[in-house]
Amino acid sequence: MDLQLAGRTVVVTGASSGIGLATARMLVAEGANVAVCARDLDRLRSAVAPLGDAGPGAVHAAACDVTDRASVEAFVDEAAGRFGGVDGLVCNAGRSLMARLPDTGDDEIRDEFSLKIFGSWNLVRAARKSLAESDSGSVVNVNAILSRQPEAKLAITSAARAALLNLTSSMAEELAVDGTRVNSVLLGLVDTGQWRRRYEGSGSELDYASWSAEIAADRGIALGRFGTAEEVAFHIVTLLSPLASYTTGTSIDVGGGVGRYI
């Protein structure tokens, strides 16, 4: 299926690994131009170097701190200048703070909310004019099922995710006048470097597949396994497509059936 993304330009944050990198790869394969960013430019360039062979799309890499408005504006202006505009945003930069509420410091709380909220809003306001000039402007906020189903040991991350989900709804309404769509992809447990590091530090005698399957069972994941970055990227790229032109203000769960809310 042609997703009609060839020649379009998409900005992807947090693209040096995991979901961001998988999304960039899929976009390039569809013929889209991709502007990617991360805080560590050397690591980012190394990660995206192979994308030149992934498809006809071009790649531009730059360092950017998504919590810093000036840094984001410079990055978006650079991307728009190189490719002639911006058609889509993938607000993916993020992390999880594994801590219960009494064990979370005030600075950690501020940092979590800053990353989740400004990590999206800084990009949106910097690119709003370019998105409005596109015939299919689209924003995808990469969020988590935690936003609707909080976990006590991820207390502040759950709260910040809920705030981002609410903000996404507000942005969808605000940007509709421009013809720009705003949606969310809500993650469950995804096999990324973060989980690999936890496994390496666990001291488990199990192999990774068995270890992760035990966690999946404990978390109540119906499909019995972690997801992959590519499985998430598919939904992100689909929401960016002009074929999804009547979809805004909604969210898609990519959690293997872990969601229990109605």
Number of domains into which the chain is organized:
2
Q: For residues 183 and 218, state if they share a domain.
A: no
- DSSP 8-state class, residue 180: -
Q: Which of 68, 46, 57 is nearest to 23 (CA)?
A: 57
User: In angstroms, rounded to a whole number, what is the distance separating the alpha carbons of residues 35 and 60?
Assistant: 5
Contact 216, 174 (CB under 8 A): no
Confidence of residue 53 (pLDDT cuts 50, 70, 90): confident
User: In angstroms, rounded to a whole number, what is the distance separating the alpha carbons of residues 176 and 9?
Assistant: 20
Q: For residues 109 and 133, state if they share a domain.
A: yes
- The pTM assigned to this predicted structure is 0.95
Whether the pLDDT of residue 43 is over 80: the answer is yes
Helix axes 155-175, 106-133, angle to 10 degrees: 20
Whether the pLDDT of residue 160 is over 90: the answer is yes
User: In angstroms, rounded to a whole number, what is the distance separating the alpha carbons of residues 151 and 157?
Assistant: 9
Helix axes 229-240, 18-29, angle to 10 degrees: 50
Q: Does a structural domain hold residue 14?
A: yes
Q: Does a structural domain hold residue 38?
A: yes
Q: Does a structural domain hold residue 128?
A: yes
User: In angstroms, rounded to a whole number, what is the distance separating the alpha carbons of residues 50 and 21?
Assistant: 11
What average pLDDT does range 149-165 have in this prediction?
A: 97
Contact 13, 68 (CB under 8 A): no
User: Tens digits of per-residue pLDDT, 97-153?
Assistant: 999 999 999 999 999 999 999 999 999 999 999 999 999 999 999 999 999 999 999
Q: Does a structural domain hold residue 102?
A: yes
Q: For residues 116 and 242, state if they share a domain.
A: yes
Chain length of the chain? 262
70: burial class by Cβ within 10 Å (0-12, 13-18, 19+)? exposed
User: In angstroms, rounded to a whole number, what is the distance separating the alpha carbons of residues 123 and 208?
Assistant: 36
- DSSP 8-state class, residue 154: B
User: In angstroms, rounded to a whole number, what is the distance separating the alpha carbons of residues 3 and 13?
Assistant: 21
User: In angstroms, rounded to a whole number, what is the distance separating the alpha carbons of residues 171 and 231?
Assistant: 25
User: Tens digits of per-residue pLDDT, 167-224?
Assistant: 999 999 999 999 999 999 999 999 987 788 889 999 999 999 999 999 999 999 999 9
Q: For residues 215 and 176, state if they share a domain.
A: no
pLDDT of residue 193: 77
Q: For residues 78 and 102, state if they share a domain.
A: yes
User: In angstroms, rounded to a whole number, what is the distance separating the alpha carbons of residues 178 and 214?
Assistant: 46
The DSSP H or E segment spanning 47 is helix 41-48
Q: For residues 117 and 222, state if they share a domain.
A: no
pLDDT of residue 147: 97
Domain enclosing residue 181, as ranges: 9-188+228-252
Q: For residues 174 and 71, state if they share a domain.
A: yes
| CATH code at position 121 | 3.40.50.720
Q: For residues 122 and 217, state if they share a domain.
A: no
Q: Does a structural domain hold residue 81?
A: yes
User: Tens digits of per-residue pLDDT, 64-106?
Assistant: 999 999 999 999 999 999 999 999 999 999 889 999 999 999 9
pLDDT of residue 75: 98
Q: Does a structural domain hold residue 99?
A: yes
What average pLDDT does range 234-258 have in this prediction?
A: 98
Contact 242, 204 (CB under 8 A): no
Report CA torsion sign: 220, 223, 228, 230.
negative
Q: For residues 168 and 64, state if they share a domain.
A: yes
Q: Does a structural domain hold residue 15?
A: yes
| Percent over 70 (pLDDT), the chain | 100
Whether the pLDDT of residue 164 is over 80: the answer is yes
Q: For residues 197 and 84, state if they share a domain.
A: no
Q: For residues 241 and 148, state if they share a domain.
A: yes
Q: Does a structural domain hold residue 1?
A: no
At 166, phi and psi to the nearest 5? -65, -45
Q: For residues 128 and 58, state if they share a domain.
A: yes
